[in-house]
């Protein structure tokens, strides 16, 4: 059984992310976060939580660009502090 507590965590991250980009429709926000409308259906909740956390921390534009780059290179949608210029 999936952890029911994940719902509140993910909804809160979604709320933070969407409020930072209020002109986006929900579908746009989700597709831009994961990088593909196909992935919206197949993405597991723990991955959504991670992706939305990255967006809340780094901003949608940087995470979307990293996801686009990862998709083009055939790798996973990895995004780190180094990608944001905030790494040590």
Least reliable range by pLDDT among 14-18, 44-48, 60-64, 76-80: 76-80
85 has a pLDDT exceeding 80: no
Euclidean distance between CA atoms 43 and 22, whole angstroms: 23
Euclidean distance between CA atoms 4 and 52, whole angstroms: 18
Q: What is the pLDDT of residue 12?
A: 94
Euclidean distance between CA atoms 9 and 6, whole angstroms: 5
Q: What is the pLDDT of residue 25?
A: 92
Euclidean distance between CA atoms 66 and 23, whole angstroms: 22
pTM of the predicted model as reported, rounded to 2 decimal places:
0.64
- For residue 55, the tally of other CB atoms under 10 A from its CB is 25
Euclidean distance between CA atoms 46 and 32, whole angstroms: 17
């Amino acid at each position: 059984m999936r952890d029911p507590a994940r719902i509140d965590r993910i909804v809160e991250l979604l709320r933070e992310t969407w409020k930072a980009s209020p002109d986006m429709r929900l579908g746009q926000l989700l597709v831009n976060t994961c990088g593909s409308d196909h992935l919206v259906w197949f993405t597991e909740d723990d991955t959504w939580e991670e992706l939305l956390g990255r967006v809340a921390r780094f901003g949608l534009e940087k995470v979307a660009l990293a996801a686009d780059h990862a998709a083009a290179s055939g790798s996973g949608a990895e995004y780190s502090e180094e990608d944001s210029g905030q790494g040590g």
